[in-house]
Chain A
Amino acid sequence: DGGITQSPKYLFRKEGQNVTLSCEQNLNHDAMYWYRQDPGQGLRLIYYSQIVNDFQKGDIAEGYSVSREKKESFPLTVTSAQKNPTAFYLCASSIWDSFNEQFFGPGTRLTVL
């Protein structure tokens, strides 16, 4: 279970506010990912990063932004442009030369009031 941490576990924000979700890993993994999970749905890819200072949009990047200034950290900002931000957000990481064997963090449940 250890190695990937997300904080906070629960987050409440007012509509129209930006909010940043933290993801840290000490597994020395090169690649990091953000997924969104809605009730009764699978995980959908928001952004991913394969190396420091580089990241790619996933399937649902609109309204989100990321940065990758350090190998260990991949924060996700949910902006006011995201129309329906209430969801369970999961961060994951994997080694560079792998077949996508991803390890997940514990998740952050964001509720926008």
Chain B
Amino acid sequence: GENVEQHPSTLSVQEGDSAVIKCTYSDSASNYFPWYKQELGKRPQLIIDIRSNVGEKKDQRIAVTLNKTAKHFSLHITETQPEDSAVYFCAEGKKEGSGGGADGLTFGKGTHLIIQP
């Protein structure tokens, strides 16, 4: 089946610095790559996603880059703040075709991001 590798498992950065989390995937048919943020005991919340037809997407301090040839994508958080502390999950999925239904997502194991004051 599909596999998603996520690194690092723990990332500690100084407040104000940037954080980068990387994921690789194996299924060349994957065309959707979301990132979720999960606080302790809470539900995952979608923070940004990217489709396979673009290489980069940005939303304020958060950006995602995708390299389909190398099958990897990354989350970049700039000017980190204490409220960015959480576990971040990458995932991959695919839509079968126009009008087709969506299958479930395959998730990485998560990165625990710690923002040091």
Contacts and interface: CB of A to CB of B under 8 A. Distances in A.
B95 interface: yes
Nearest to A90: B43
Interface in B1-48: 1, 4, 6, 31-32, 34, 42-46
Interface in B42-89: 42-46, 49, 51, 89
Interface string A63-91: 00000000000000000000000000010
Interface residues of B, number: 30
Nearest to A44: B107
B88 to A, nearest CB: 11
A98 B103 CA distance: 10
Nearest to A1: B43
Interface residues of A, number: 30
A105 B42 CA distance: 9
A100 B105 contact: yes
A100 B102 contact: yes
Contacts of B93: 99-100
Interface of A: 30-31, 33, 35, 40-45, 48, 50-51, 56, 58-59, 90, 94, 96-107
